[in-house]
Amino acid sequence: MLIGAFLLWLPLSGHAHQLKAALSTVVVNETSSELELTHRYYLHDVEHAVAHLFGDEADIFSDRTAQNKFAEYVHAHIRLKQPNGQLLTLRNAGARIHKPFFFVYQQSTLPDDTARLSMQNTVLRDVWCAQVNMVNFKVHNTTRSLHFDGNDDWLSVNLEP
């Protein structure tokens, strides 16, 4: 019976570390009118994605070039636009590894009269169809969330209190 339980557990444990899920946080800094974006990816997912995207020789753990390439990949797959269709300019603000996560940072200036934003987040969704990207917008002490999966393209969020 103990062996049967172990055999049932074994297939699940081998896949548990690859989650194919990411969490992003977009904070509206009300004093500077800056958007501060933090994207958090599981390092194990990034390791597999980097090998797929850039080749097996890429080492996300020790190769700063691979880390920068992944940050640029993220930067190219995140877009924000205003209701009039004008894209916001996102600036790459760096990347780092911390514990089991790979973080990518971006910034943008939020126009004064913007009450709504649309976002496109296709990061890793071109690598895995099961990838889920959650985005929390923190505005005026309120959190509003977007959930990207499947064929989601542009999703919108209200920035008003």
The pLDDT value given to residue 15:
46
Give the domain range for residue 72: 20-158
* Mean pLDDT value across residues 125-147: 94
User: How do residues 39-52 score in pLDDT, each as one tens digit?
Assistant: 999 999 999 999 99
Instruction: Say which residues have a Cβ less than 8 Å from residue 33's Cβ, sequence separation at least 6.
Output: 109, 110, 112
In a domain, 47, yes or no: yes
Does residue 86 lie within any of the structural domains?
Answer: yes
For residue 110, is it within any domain? yes
* Number of continuous H segments (helices) and E segments (strands) in the chain: 3, 9
60-119 pLDDT per residue, tens: 999 999 999 999 999 999 999 999 999 999 999 999 999 999 999 999 999 888 899 999
In a domain, 152, yes or no: yes
Residue 6 covered by a domain: no
Contact criterion met (CB below 8 Å) for 90 and 77: no
Provide the domain count of the chain: 1
Q: Is residue 15 part of a domain?
A: no
Q: What is the pLDDT of residue 160?
A: 84
**Domain contains 9:** no
Residue 37's pLDDT is 98
What pLDDT, on the 0 to 100 scale, is given for residue 17? 58
Please report, to the nearest 10 degrees, the dihedral formed by the alpha carbons of residues 150, 26, 90, 131 taken in order.
-20
Contact 71, 62 (CB under 8 A): no
Q: What's the pLDDT at 113?
A: 80
How far is the C-alpha of 38 from the C-alpha of 78, rounded, in Å?
11
Residue 97 forms part of a structural domain: yes
